[in-house]
Chains A and B, each alone.
Chain A
Amino acid sequence: MKPTIDINLGGMLFHLDDDAYKALQSYLKALDKHLQTVDGRQEILSDIESRIAELLTERLASTRQVVSMLDVDAVKETLGSPSEFGPGPVDEPSQGYSEPHDPSARSKRPYRRLYRDDQDRVVGGVASGIAAFFNWDPLVLRVLFLLLLFTGGGVLLYIILWVLMPKAVTTAERLAMRGEPVTVETIRNKVETEFDKVKNSMDDMDVKGRFSRGARRTSSVLGRILRACARIVIGFVSVALLVTAIAIGTVALNFLIGDGSVISESGKLSELSEVIMPAGYSMTYLWIMTILVLSGPIIFIVLLNLRAFFGMRYNRPSSRMLGGFGMLATLIGLLMAMVSGIKVATEFNVDASHLQTVNMPESVKTWELSVADIMLKDPDFSLHIGTNEDGAKLHTKSEGGNFNLDITPGRVRINGKHLDEDYWDESNWDESFRGWWYLKDDRAFFNNVEVDVRPARQGQASLTVRRYANGRSRRDASYRANSINYDLTVSDSGEIVLNSMLDFPTSDRQRGQSVEVVLYLPVGHSVNFDASLEDYLYDVDNVVNMYDDEMLGRTWIMMPEGLTEVKAY
């Protein structure tokens, strides 16, 4: 007794014995390999398969049902070995053309790949294809898809899979659909062919090309309509992607290399990257890196669009080269990002801090806590713009006056910085101008300041400032923490005014520099939080567990059980 293997050739079912199966499989594989560089390879292969089906049908007498080695040999003799018919690369005939008695023939089964099974399908053959890949019963997946249908996402998922999964057309592909399961050793092999396959699956989306041929095999009108709809949706999505990509690219480049034309209440992103990139990495590095990383996706999306609207083929040498170039560029860009990223990460390795205690007046029992916006105090930034009562005329007010103002209708520039119309309204000026960082005179200013109020251990109120920073080593971190400059003032009447920002030399880079200000209050002392402390209070414990921002504008007294609000009557 010999087991047989069922295969499908040109839509016909054949029973093959094991030898015949192996021989036919390696023959088809050799053909596929031989025709690899030939245009219309799949069509040629399926023509040849149809012919093989015909030849086998002729050879099988009505009483004989199983295709044997002899039949396959006869077919091979009629059609010839791949090396005998061109065109195609001149290949030594032995390569990729393993004889059926080769003991290693078993291991030469094709690696399993995901295909749609067009010949066992209800809608598009997605479920049966996935089932074949995992050796499952397709019914399970069909039921699953049906259930997902009610959630709505199922339809979308199915359509996406339908479009992305290539249809198993040739017998070589059908064999691969049930081929050798993917193992670690086969991954490398898969990766090499993956790029080609992705492009092939994109070919599936071609409206003009394969669709007409596919339609012949597809009897389901519903399936055709759904596929056409999916293509339209993909067309729209790809246009949207293109627009988004161009927008993101423009903005990214503008931020990175722009000269301040982009509105910026804080510093420019280009300055931020200057303060983040490790020493020795110039802006040019960042600039080249960004362009490289972006080029791959942009090229891909452009090709996708060309494809969708002009029917341009991915496998044309020019687009293939362009695609390869884009991928390489992105990889190099990512590598550059990784190199600098790792460098930055090592400089966050350990942290260190320095604690300072601020002198406090002894007689005071009620404290006023507020934040002074040092950016507004800075003559370079300090100004007011608003509308006059009598019209739309702008007036300016400055404490330092060291700026030039250029007002043309619809456009306001201050020291070359462009401000948008929100800034015309004086009422929200202060609020929106409060930036969280900026660079000036080789110093970086950041608002990484946290304020907390805790119970004092002794009967005296005290104020501590702890400066934190990260570094490669503890020494490095400690040095960096020590070079942080942070000022606050405590008046004799108990007004504590904190600077909104700390600053450090730009050459230190931003490596987690932050300041924690803690006010220790003995029982009986009270504190009022000014509204300017918004975003500065950090997790201040109080008896009613009120959130930090809600604590603003209220007065609190330290009781044995914790901070308690002093209600005004």
Chain B
Amino acid sequence: MAKTFGSFSAFSKPPKKQKFGIEPIKSEFGGSEPDSIYTINRESSWSRWRRGFEIATASLAHNTIDYPFTYKIPLPAGASPASGNQPAIPGVFRGFPTKNKELSCHWAGVRVAGSLRFDNVLDASNVRASIASITEDKEFWYIQLAGTWSSSNTLPAPLFIPIAGTDGIKPTNGEVIEDRIITPEGVPINRDSINPNTQKRYGFVQAVVADVNQNTGVIKLRKRGSVEATPDRILVTPATRPPNVGRYFMTGTRYYCSCQDYTRRDYAYISSLGQTKGKKFPLTRVASLKPGRYEVLKIGDKVSNQAMTSAVVNRKMQIISPSADFNVPPSVAPTTQTIPGSTRDNPGVYSDFGSVYIRSGSDPSLPGAKSDGIPSYEDYTAKDNVITSLTDFWEPVLDEFRYCKHIYSMKFEEGLFPAEPSDFPVGVGSMVDWEQKLVAKTEKDQKEAVEKLLATGLSYMDIPPFNCQSPMMVTMMQKLFNIPSNFVLLQNFTMYDKTGKAYTPSQGGTPAL
């Protein structure tokens, strides 16, 4: 094992080479098998899972940086004002002290479970969309929702939004849903809730929405990665039974993180404050370049990249997303002028396209499944060198989507104890030594990050909700709330201080402590 511990990649440094020995190629996709293993070790989901547990314990030991909030969803212009209880999203921002972040904190977001309820999904006759019946195959459950659905009476938004000339969009694909509502407008059950008729615990099932059929009212749930709360109060994955007929779905906890690991964006230091060797400009190795969209934030016509604004100033996000196909234009003018839409590459912003890690074949715990093999990356499908579909949408429950260590830490705190990823690092001498050093490094990093935050960071860190439209945060907010980014308005945040007192920053409110 390497003696030094300067970087995370040092966990799996090869033994010192003899003079004139063969040096492995150090590029990311260099073709050297040993080096590929080093990369897999550093990039493994298992490392994030293990470090997440250390961060979870560190959060319990320290006073966590939590910013609870309620976000009042703005209605579209022209819509009638909402009466009674206002449509709102409750959640919490969690700051993770981080050594290599310019402003000392990575911010993650949580939309708490129960925010969206299917007892409020109605068909044209105001029939509530309970679970009417279920069929299944090896990979999916097919949930027939109650109500009358057809091509002229489709599932309502946000399950399906028709857009003229297109197939429409389905923003709820990728949401975690749970069958925890027994009666309309009732209180969601938990793991301890007991059915008075049977004197046994109700139990429930959690799964990810893979797709919806707007014309038939069928929701397709993915079995792989599903979680079941059993009558014994135990959480098992994958679930051994489908959701319960007659109940109503609600959304589970939704996470998103602004760290560069989760968003797959390169990071750079813009200021020289508090750092000595950070990059001044984001760099992407050519081998890592992938196509992708990028965003520009503006106030009026001017680009605005500052971390925070006043709570009454809103920015607009412009998404630069060239055409969906990857083909360059059939002809390029001799002027060599860049043609907008001719490429989706954006050097210096994206380092990868999503890194969806999935097991090969079906889930090993299901009958007839194959054993684990080499991970396959299925960001897209292609035929005859033409990309036919992009499938890098968010799947929050699953280890298919590679969580960052911050989200893993919050899942540990949630009590889900996320399943151990199967890509345990390989190719090093002693696994025990490797894990102990990983834990020691994480602990040391946490300690130093907190010290740095307390020493210098508090004076210039960015805090919610003032940073919610910064370039790092605005995409997180859009994914976290699952609404269009222009519906994320700073004045609609109500925050809660450590005493539980509510205050509204846009009205000059401040925390009591």
A and B from one assembly? no
Interface residues of A (CB under 8 A from B): none
